Copies of this chain bind each other. A is one copy, B any other.
Amino acid sequence: MNLIVQKYGGTSVGSVERIQAIAKRIVEAKIKYDHVVVVVSAMGKTTDALVKMAKDIQGTPDPREYDALVSTGENVSASLVSMAIQALGHKAISLNGSQAGVFTENIYSKAKITKVDTTRMVKELEDGKVLIVTGFQGINDISDITTIGRGGSDTSAVVLAAALGAQECEIFTDVDGVYTTDPRLVEKAAKLEEISYDEMLELASLGARVLHPRSVECAKENNIVLHVRSSFKSDEGTRVKEDCKMEATKTVTGVTINEAQSQVSIRDVSDTPGVASKLFGELANNNVNVDMIVQSAERDQVNSITFTIASDDLSEAKTVTEKVAAELACKGITFDDDVAKVSIVGVGMISRPGVAAKMFNTLGDNGININLISTSEIKVSCVIKRDKARLALELLHTAFGLDQ
């Protein structure tokens, strides 16, 4: 079956006019590929409006009812997109999670998709129809509606591509691809033709809000090519795939910054064993997500712990840290709400030593102090002063040969 899966996000279906515009693109795909399965998100800010009502009524909404409620946004856009395709003279049918056979775990709001029964989808495709499937939702084993977490429509699209044997899954969005860095911050940012799954995962986790990380993992597992492209322009976008030409030529594929970071340090934890487990356990219990953690033995065997968090969590983190420090008699707590994280990502760095050193040199030569360093096989992150972050981004983009 010559089949393509396309996913359109909330902005792409945000109005009657936008829906009519994407219907034209879908019809073009239908003519080119024979079979098209479209996954849609809710229109624009619909879901946010539903969530607000739910929270006004029940501070912490019942998860089952919450899922039944927010999933309606996708039902609306799926029906409207189907109508728009029919209005262009082509056959189309909307399918909700239940009708599309998308089964999930028996939990709510963040269920994982466990099985796709493609019987009805295959029947409707063979009948020549374009399928418009609601993203983000499925059903559990008692036919209750479940959702797979916000941003999950990307994952829905990849799962359907895998279940139906599509080679490629097009993710239409309001940017025209994946860039070497944020083009709003660095003028010389270049659009990537290709990027590997692993690099994309690092970039996605680092805040490049192009693709949901789960969808990238799922695409990697099933070897589905993701094609990230603009819903407003017809240009090719960026293909996320296993083997990339890019790897051979460049060590670093992208540079990112996250400016909403805060740093917490406890300088003297020398006399108190188990500080780390106690501290990070308490932070987790209070839903504070810790990013980087560095524990080091300084001069005179005085241990220190430093970690970073999202700035939004600083106030909660302060309370928890001060409480734990008081209990365990730790000294020298400092909070720094003035930091940012700058990272370089690239599978090429696996085989090339000296990449991290080049990053540190580039920053050091330009008078940018590094507070913390964290590395993975394909990523190096440095925490620096926030007011140097944009400069660091440009310097690294140039240093690693990414300028357009």
From B19, B68, B86, A65 is in contact (CB under 8 Å) with B86
Q: Which residue of B lies closest to A70 (CB)?
A: B79
CB-defined contacts of A146 to chain B, threshold 8 Å: none
From B56, B68, B93, A64 is in contact (CB under 8 Å) with B93
Q: Which residue of B lies closest to A99 (CB)?
A: B143
CA of A56 to CA of B98 in the docked complex: distance in angstroms? 28
A207 interfacial contact with B, CB 8 Å: no
From B57, B61, B64, A16 is in contact (CB under 8 Å) with B57
Let me know if A76 and B58 touch, CB within 8 A. no
Q: Indicate with 1 or 0, residue by residue over A295-330, a CB within 8 angstroms of chain B CB atoms.
A: 000000000000000000000000000000000000
Let me know if B69 and A53 touch, CB within 8 A. no
Let me know if A87 and B50 touch, CB within 8 A. no
A363 interfacial contact with B, CB 8 Å: no
CB-defined contacts of A66 to chain B, threshold 8 Å: 79, 83
A402 interfacial contact with B, CB 8 Å: no
CB-defined contacts of A20 to chain B, threshold 8 Å: 57
Q: Indicate with 1 or 0, residue by residue over A72-90, a CB within 8 angstroms of chain B CB atoms.
A: 1001101110111011000
From B58, B59, B75, A68 is in contact (CB under 8 Å) with B75
Let me know if A94 and B68 touch, CB within 8 A. yes
Q: Which residue of B lies closest to A56 (CB)?
A: B16
Let me know if B84 and A57 touch, CB within 8 A. yes
Let me know if A75 and B83 touch, CB within 8 A. no
A162 to chain B, nearest CB (A): 24
Count residues of chain A with CB under 8 A from any CB of chain B.
Answer: 35
Q: How many identical subunits does the complex contain? A: 2
CA of A83 to CA of B66 in the docked complex: distance in angstroms? 8
A144 interfacial contact with B, CB 8 Å: yes
A54 interfacial contact with B, CB 8 Å: yes
A381 interfacial contact with B, CB 8 Å: no
CB-defined contacts of A75 to chain B, threshold 8 Å: 68-69, 72, 75
With contacts A57-B19, A87-B57 taken as known, whether A143 is within 8 angstroms of B98 at the C-beta atoms is: yes
Q: Which residue of B lies closest to A144 (CB)?
A: B99
A8 to chain B, nearest CB (A): 15
Could you give 10 example pairs across A and B, Cβ below 8 Å? Answer: A16-B53, A20-B57, A54-B79, A57-B80, A57-B87, A66-B83, A68-B94, A68-B96, A98-B143, A99-B143
A residues in contact (CB < 8 Å) with B: 16, 19-20, 50, 53-54, 56-59, 61-62, 64-66, 68-69, 72, 75-76, 78-80, 82-84, 86-87, 93-94, 96, 98-99, 143-144
Known contacts A53-B80, A99-B143; can you find 16 more A-B pairs with CB under 8 A? Answer: A54-B79, A57-B87, A61-B83, A62-B82, A62-B83, A65-B80, A65-B83, A65-B94, A66-B79, A66-B83, A68-B94, A69-B80, A72-B76, A75-B75, A98-B98, A98-B143
Cβ-closest 6 pairs across A and B: A69-B79, A58-B83, A72-B72, A58-B87, A65-B79, A68-B79
